[in-house]
Amino acid sequence: STSSTTTSSLQAQAQEASPPTLEAILFDCDGVLADTERDGHRPAFNQAFRNNNIDEEWDVDRYGKLLEVGGGKERMTAHWNEV
């Protein structure tokens, strides 16, 4: 019947228009899913040094050593205490 066809059509349109359902949630810590330390944070530190006329450049090896210190503020303090 026309009524059931219209109802089915409206239900199909409503399903298409509804937002997708949540299928997964990902939790991440820096460096778990991507190497954000070496390829993200380190270049950002180096850019900040340049922007502020600080004569410093952290290469991959130096930053790798600094990563032995947990926490950004603590890492910066450890570096400046060494140099």
Catalytic positions, please?
28, 30
> Which of 52, 69, 62 minimizes the C-alpha distance to 83?
62
> Which of 33, 39, 42 minimizes the C-alpha distance to 76?
42
Number of other residues whose CB lies within 10 A of the CB of residue 41: 19
Map tokens 């899913």 to a residue: 33
CA distance 9 to 71: 56
